[in-house]
A and B are shown apart, each in its own frame.
Chain A
Amino acid sequence: MFLLDQNEFFIDPARCIGCQACVQACSECDTHKGHAMIHLEYVDRGQSTQTVPVVCMHCESPTCAEVCPADAIKKTEDGVVQSARKPRCVACNNCVLACPFGVPKMITDFELMMKCDLCYDRTSAGKKPMCATVCPSGALFYGPRPEIDQLRPRSKPMNQFQFGRQTITTKVHMMAPTGPVKAQYLDVTEVMNENGPRQRIALDILSNLYASEDGV
């Protein structure tokens, strides 16, 4: 049995299969009932099937909170950046535009910013966040460090991200390869001109299949 504060969140987009289970489970969370806060993003829909699940990274110095004119976004003592406090949020969209990870969502009807809060009702009680509970491929993992080290010997957790000249340190970790690559941080802006891996899906894949069968 691990202590609560030994549990950490690890995301590994390379393992994501785009099944949407996390999106469905996220909307079950009691702190944002009916609204999925996780983003399941296609990296390049036209070129690739690659998907990336994006949860709040819970930055040490959260840009969303700093740019909030109403001082509505607070961080708990255990480092979880919360959704905007309902009485204070003025729906200005600053946080949505400023977050380097593109996480906060503006719920226009409610005039309220909502975001992933690490399922605080669950994690503060020692449970896993909804998304990590249902993820079948381990792209979203919540647990103690020794466990992930044991499960993923070829990966190492990384929690520093580079955006231009700005380095952001986060509470949530991303899995990076061990071995030859010695990057201390993930340079997000360096891949600005990259596209998704070329895995173009041939639309005539079935006809090709049948053609080969006919040939046999």
Chain B
Amino acid sequence: MSKEKLKANIWAFVVTAILARLITLGSGNLDRFDAALVPYTFATLFAVFGITRRYALWLHRPPTAMYWTRGWKVFLLLLHPRHVGSNAILFLRRLIAHYAFNDFIWRRGRMRWLAHWCIMWGCVIAVAITIPLVCGWIDFRSEADNLEWYRVLVFGYPTVAFPIRSLVGFLTFHGLVWSSFLVIFGVLLALRRRLSDHGAAALQQFGEDLLPLFLLFAISVTGLMLTASYTWMKGYGYDFLAILHAITVIFTLLWLPFGKFFHIFQRSATVGVAFYQDVGKQGEQAKCRRCGNEFASRMHVEDLITVEKQLGYRYEMPDSPVEHYQWICPRCRRALLGLAQGVLWNESQAQG
């Protein structure tokens, strides 16, 4: 096993162990743990192991490692007392625009945005409800003096109470129903695009693009069928549906570290990248060593040179004042391609 994989395994083991300990702590040594949810709990633990392992391996890639290191340095710069207030506001603004509203997807296309926004918020609500339940961190107990009231226990500590037969109770206990509606609507919109758009059809892959949609659809529909079974059908087929639902959820949890779902964890890098670019703009700029125009931040170009060397590329130009091809702007690179071919033809004609 390579050093990187060993490190990634250790990280994955440590994070999974921390979660396992949090489960025993939060559920009062499994006292408040719902035994019916055991398969989900183990699937969650496996998913956390897989996600952490893949994340650690991803961070080890030279370009990712460079951004990871630079990102933390930039973060420390942002904490400078003179700028910390404005940076915190900018950070929050970006966080809300990017993650809560998906503004960049809105600009890519309205229907694409609607599909993603519904799927995302449906999943966020569902995860926020189920993970604390699956880990035994949240529990509902009847009040001792009034069985019509539930009190919410978080990590065993009593918090708010509400009447079971109330609007709050109805909305709370049907949280997964609302999230299912959002997910199903979003998935149908996404599938419609994937089935009708020539460009998407040419590029999409089953495991990467379609399977996640099918899985989310299957979870939502089987979940709704469970609700329908116990609400209107006196529990008809409930056991079968419960197993079917568990299979879809567990498969999805185990699939999280692979394929498209992993972007949920990767996209955290966008905020760091935005601040990296901000700092770059404020610093010295790189000038093209052919045309003299500024084309990027000097920090970015120097970081890329380091990364390219780590990757084994040899764009160095030791006999030239240019030193490294990375110091040539993209426009000049394109022009050079035409010039180089022209020179070959000139030489050919000169030599007869």
Contact = CB atoms under 8 A, between A and B. Distances in A.
B324 interface: yes
B279 to A, nearest CB: 13
22 contacts: A12-B341, A13-B342, A30-B199, A66-B313, A67-B63, A69-B64, A71-B58, A71-B64, A87-B260, A88-B263, A88-B267, A97-B301, A97-B304, A97-B330, A101-B334, A102-B332, A111-B104, A174-B337, A177-B347, A179-B348, A188-B340, A192-B336
Contact-size category for A: 35 or more
Most buried by A among B266, B277, B301, B336: B336
A201 B339 CA distance: 19
Given A13-B338, A54-B334, A71-B61, A30 B197 contact: yes
B330 A52 contact: no
Contacts of A78: none
A166 B315 contact: yes
A124 interface: yes
Interface string A102-144: 1100000111100001001100110000000000000000000
B13 interface: no
Given A71-B61, A92-B67, A97-B300, A188 B202 contact: no
Nearest to B208: A85
B63 to A, nearest CB: 4
Given A39-B334, A121-B199, A186 B340 contact: yes
Given A100-B315, A121-B199, A180-B351, A188 B337 contact: yes
Interface of A: 12-14, 16, 29-33, 39, 41-44, 50-52, 54, 63, 66-71, 82, 85-88, 90-94, 96-103, 109-112, 117, 120-121, 124-125, 161, 163-166, 174-177, 179-181, 183, 186-192, 194-197
Interface in B276-290: 276-277, 290
Given A166-B314, A191-B336, A102 B108 contact: no
Interface in B302-339: 304, 307-308, 311, 313-318, 320, 322, 324-326, 328-339
